[in-house]
Amino acid sequence: MSFRVTVGKGSCGIAAGAGKLSDALAPLLEGTGIPLGTVGCIGMCWLEPIVDIYETGLLKARLVQVQPEQAPMIAQAVKTGDFSVIEPLRITKEDSAFLTQQTRIALRNCGIIDPESIDSALESGGYQALGKILSGGMSPEEVIECIKVSGLAGRGGAGYPTWSKWNAERQFAGEEKRLICNADEGDPGAFTDRAVIESDPHTLIEGMLIGAYAIGAQEAIVYVRAEYPLAIRRLEYAIREARQKGYIGSHIMGSSFSCEFRIRAGAGAFVCGGETALIESLQEKRGMPRLKPPFPAESDCRNKPSNINNVETFANVAWIINNGGEAFAAIGTEDSKGTKVFALTGKIRRGGLVEIPMGMTLRQVIFDLGGGIRDGGTFKAVQMGGPSGGCIPESLLDTIIDCKTLAAAGAVMGSGSMVVMDDSTCMVGMAKYFLDFTAKETCGKCVRCRIGTKHMQEILTRIVSGEGREGDIALLEELCNAVRDSALCVLGQTAPNPVRSTLRYFRDEFEAHIAEKRCPAHTCTGLLHYRIRPEKCRGCTACARNCPVYAISGVVKGPHEIDPSSCIRCGQCMASCKFGAVTVD
């Protein structure tokens, strides 16, 4: 028997205790000849910490939600070959289907290889595509043609054809071109780029090297947010190893192609997800967008042509070169080729990463892969694309996932966030949440964006506080149109999307908040009214004793009542009542 044990140590695994688990396993396996390795996130974040046991290279057992105190059981199993002791830890068939229903290209090595070992990446086919083109197999023009045939479009939100950007850069003269990876993933709920860098950094490096070769760049830069320390550390290590192996630097793999890599950690400004603001930040300036043209492919602020793609886009490139553009184009729909990675979050049973072929429906992703709504809730909506996207209601669950169809429904794929909401979610509050975000993240350069988003935020705050006024809905719609039509960058142009989509599909909730001073989801505290039903009250005084502002009066074994003028709507009375006497309207 030849066993190997790995522990998933992406950010989600570490947060769930994978570090302590690994520390507990290490001494138990020391001297046994059974290696203990590290892998990244395989996407099943809700099951972390995850331990995989391989026998002669094949997965023998996947153990989930493993705790440090269970390490001796695992050590005993791999030492003796008797896996019956760890049977309770095995993943269920139902949860295993989460992976088998996916088509993994960008995530093909995530959770499988050691992100801190280039040898592990090489064993899984790393740098074969680079070797193929540098050995004389493909010219830069042929690489661009292959990407064109594949139909690969940018995975950062705009969906612009990758080959077209590369070809435009290729056509511009100048020796000092640069290739930039946009890893400034800023959408609330999105973590796809972070997971790829943490779990398979060499796929990103190889994809960028191929892109640099295609456009004629000798410098590659990864612009990553500083809030991703693990991703930065693993990428730095991967770059050092790749340089030692001759994949980075001068005359790569004995060819005439040379390319240097560097990492730039950004401060985490959402606006720097836009190309021109990102370039400004790279030049040690405040991250603010500028007018185009000139486009980055023509000239950046240092008069050097630059090409920008995001992490997931580059993660597909090596696979396409190895398998051919036709193979990638055979996946997906006529308008949207290949796969897309989504981060499933919110009120969903199986939260994590999924990579699906374009053309699957939202219902399939949320209910078949995601397992549906957790805690017995009912599906209400899904927010696609974060602050730049929009929400899709239950009536459109059978919408297929591709760029045009989602746009028609009022949403975008964006960088891959998919926030699932149940019937306890207030849609007005959800719109306010995203407007709070964009109002804080606006760079302030455009008056309409700076003032318009703030004004929308103030109106939404007033509505959820129970102070909405007649005419607020019309004013919101007017502001949405004004900001969308006049903002300079994509952040401003798309900032109204969450408001527009919620007004489109959940207008009745806005009207209930304003006209009836009622929150249908019972979550806006300014609109809640707690009362005690006298026929159910036993006079136990639990509610009065737990009220922090002494708003409840009554006698022992007699009915109690709440003073609405003193009540702060904290819900402690309802939580403490064992007889269901406290209700909320």
Task: Give the Cβ contact number of residue 256 at 10 Å.
Answer: 8
**Peptide bond just before 357 cis, omega within 30 deg:** no
Domains of the chain (ranges, CATH numbers): 3-92 (3.40.30.10), 118-329 (3.40.50.11540), 339-422 (3.10.20.600), 427-515 (1.20.1440.230), 529-584 (3.30.70.20)
Contact 216, 257 (CB under 8 A): no
Nearest Cα residue to 211 out of 247, 256, 162:
162
What confidence category does residue 280 fall into, taking pLDDT thresholds of 50, 70 and 90?
Answer: confident
Percent of the chain with pLDDT over 70: 98
Measured CA to CA, the distance from residue 465 to residue 473 in angstroms comes to 15
Q: Is 115 helix (H, G, I), strand (E, B) or coil?
A: coil
Q: What per-residue confidence (pLDDT) applies to 155?
A: 86
Measured CA to CA, the distance from residue 55 to residue 551 in angstroms comes to 65
Give Cα 306 to chain centroid, integer Å.
26
Measured CA to CA, the distance from residue 33 to residue 351 in angstroms comes to 35
Asked if residue 132 has pLDDT above 90, the reply is yes
Phi, psi of 38 (to 5 degrees): -115, 135
- Joined together, the tokens standing for residue 124 give 């899984």
Alpha helices (runs of H) in 133-263, residue ranges in sequence order: 140-150, 162-171, 192-199, 201-215, 229-244
CA distances to 180, 187, 235 from 263, rounded to whole Å, are 10, 21, 8
Contact 577, 542 (CB under 8 A): yes
Phi, psi of 382 (to 5 degrees): -130, 130
Q: What per-residue confidence (pLDDT) applies to 140?
A: 96
Measured CA to CA, the distance from residue 375 to residue 357 in angstroms comes to 28
Which of 14-28, 50-64, 297-311 is predicted with the least confidence, judged by mean pLDDT? Answer: 297-311
Element (H, E) at 418: strand 417-422
Q: What per-residue confidence (pLDDT) applies to 301?
A: 45
Buried b / exposed e over 125-160, threshold 16 CB at 10 Å, is: bbbebbebbbeeebebeebbbbbbbbbbbbbbbbbe
Measured CA to CA, the distance from residue 455 to residue 377 in angstroms comes to 33
Over residues 351-386, the pLDDT tens digits come to 999 999 999 999 999 999 999 999 889 999 999 988
Compute the half-sphere exposure of residue 19: CA atoms within 13 Å on the CB side of its CA. 5
What confidence category does residue 501 fall into, taking pLDDT thresholds of 50, 70 and 90?
Answer: very high
Q: What per-residue confidence (pLDDT) applies to 22?
A: 97
pTM for the model: 0.92
**Peptide bond just before 293 cis, omega within 30 deg:** yes
Give Cα 249 to chain centroid, integer Å.
32
Which of 45-49, 217-221, 364-368, 404-408 is predicted with the least confidence, judged by mean pLDDT? Answer: 404-408
Alpha helices (runs of H) in 324-379, residue ranges in sequence order: 325-329, 362-363
Task: Give the Cβ contact number of residue 100 at 10 Å.
Answer: 8
Q: Beta strands 582-584 and 530-532: pairing type?
A: antiparallel
Q: What is the mean pLDDT of residues 483-509?
A: 92
Over residues 23-49, the pLDDT tens digits come to 999 999 999 999 999 999 999 999 999
Q: What is the mean pLDDT of residues 473-485?
A: 95
Burial class (CB in 10 A: 0-12, 13-18, 19+), 471: exposed
Q: What per-residue confidence (pLDDT) applies to 1?
A: 58
Which of 112-116, 176-180, 283-287 is predicted with the least confidence, judged by mean pLDDT? Answer: 283-287
Contact 482, 475 (CB under 8 A): no
Q: What per-residue confidence (pLDDT) applies to 300?
A: 54
Q: What is the mean pLDDT of the chain?
A: 92
Measured CA to CA, the distance from residue 340 to residue 411 in angstroms comes to 15
Measured CA to CA, the distance from residue 273 to residue 141 in angstroms comes to 29
Task: Give the Cβ contact number of residue 69 at 10 Å.
Answer: 10
Over residues 289-306, the pLDDT tens digits come to 887 777 776 665 456 778
Q: Beta strands 417-422 and 552-554: pairing type?
A: unpaired
